[in-house]
Structure 1
């Protein structure tokens, strides 16, 4: 069932860890090779918001320590089809926008950008101040896709999973990965 792709997923300390968890599970279910990097605050938020530990993610992805700058995903010669940072904290967004590569997550994102691969950043913050917007602009100008966690409602969701899957589906669309996670506009349910 796999689509011969290799994706890196980064989960940071912003609220919305469920988006990252949902994406990792969807990639696994689609047979996509997934490499996961979670910041220390990302782990804490995942546990707090979802009751999910790092141990629970092991079946879905190869997990890399955010401190391990020697990991495969830190090198441009390690071929990937892209990276998604979901949710992306404003702290991480600022690091990415300014080329700071002092953690594996920020280094992997920098590599994805320099290799001209798809980088999708999903900020989960509101409202934005000018520095947030400038950092998003800087990343977009460098080639990243900025996709705020803003699910649609035209599919008339009744449960939180429908909203979460909508965002995961849109991310998969941007990565060119076939899926059936969301009802598309103009298509009957």
Structure 2
């Protein structure tokens, strides 16, 4: 396939699997090349919160997701938790942003303290040391002092902490609308076009434009 934007996406074992899967779907639809990593705990959460039953092996999972989301050949790559030869595992690999969505508090702790016990943690460590874009999407409530301290430390290192806390000003009617709110914000931060949720002020501007046109009198 033609050269396109490369993005690393990981899902860990926090609640919020629909956010990560919807983001994967949107990135594929946007034509991105996605390097996808899923922790074992994330697979359990996915089977609990959605109707997906992901195959255990990376190759089988890749084929399953390619068919589900209509990915082009070579557009999606799935890596195992200890695939140390995967591009996200090294700073000498191709430069790409990393999104961990959802991001468990255990992963937050590992990243804040420099642990690299699996590919996802190593990919996060690489993103931090190479000063690459790193977006973390925790979903926990309430946050303990430990969680908050880890988020502060990671923010100071350059990471973006974006809790899965959807807004309501877009008047959501379904759970999917709430999921789309967070996914749209993530797409915006990745500089990817999205039409899931209008940006702040766009709906009002469109309404004003429509009213202005309706006020123009018809010609003779």
Smaller-chain TM-score range? over 0.9
Q: Please say which structure displays the higher CA radius of gyration.
A: 2
1:66 corresponds to 2:66: no
For 1:97-133, what per-residue CA distance to the aligned partner results, in whole angstroms no more than 9, with x for missing partners? Answer: 1110110000011111111110000000000010000
Summarize the alignment of residues 92-171 of structure 1 with structure 2, pairs less than 5 Å apart: 92-171=107-186
- Native 8 Å contact 1:113 1:119 kept in 2: yes
Structure 1 residues without counterparts, runs of 5 or longer? none
Using the TM superposition, give the Cα deviation of residue 3 of structure 1 relative to its aligned residue in structure 2, in angstroms: 8.5
Query: Normalised by the size of structure 1, how large is the TM-score?
Result: 0.94
> CA–CA distance in 2 between the matches of 1:146 and 1:3?
29
> CA–CA distance in 1 between the matches of 2:175 and 2:95?
31
Structure 2 residues without counterparts, runs of 5 or longer? 55-60, 207-220
* Aligned-partner SS, 1:9: strand
Summarize the alignment of residues 36-75 of structure 1 with structure 2, pairs less than 5 Å apart: 36-54=36-54, 55=61, 56-59=64-67, 60=71, 61-75=76-90
> CA–CA distance in 1 between the matches of 2:32 and 2:53?
21
Q: Partner of 2:28 in structure 1?
A: 28
1:174 corresponds to 2:182: no
> CA–CA distance in 2 between the matches of 1:185 and 1:152?
11
- Native 8 Å contact 1:3 1:31 kept in 2: no
Structure 1 stretches of 4+ with a deviation exceeding 3 A read none
For 1:19-40, what per-residue CA distance to the aligned partner results, in whole angstroms no more than 9, with x for missing partners? Answer: 0000000000000110111100
> CA–CA distance in 1 between the matches of 2:110 and 2:65?
25
Using the TM superposition, give the Cα deviation of residue 181 of structure 1 relative to its aligned residue in structure 2, in angstroms: 1.6
> CA–CA distance in 2 between the matches of 1:139 and 1:3?
32
Q: CA RMSD in A?
A: 1.5
How many residues are aligned here? 188
Q: Partner of 2:218 in structure 1?
A: none
> CA–CA distance in 2 between the matches of 1:87 and 1:14?
6
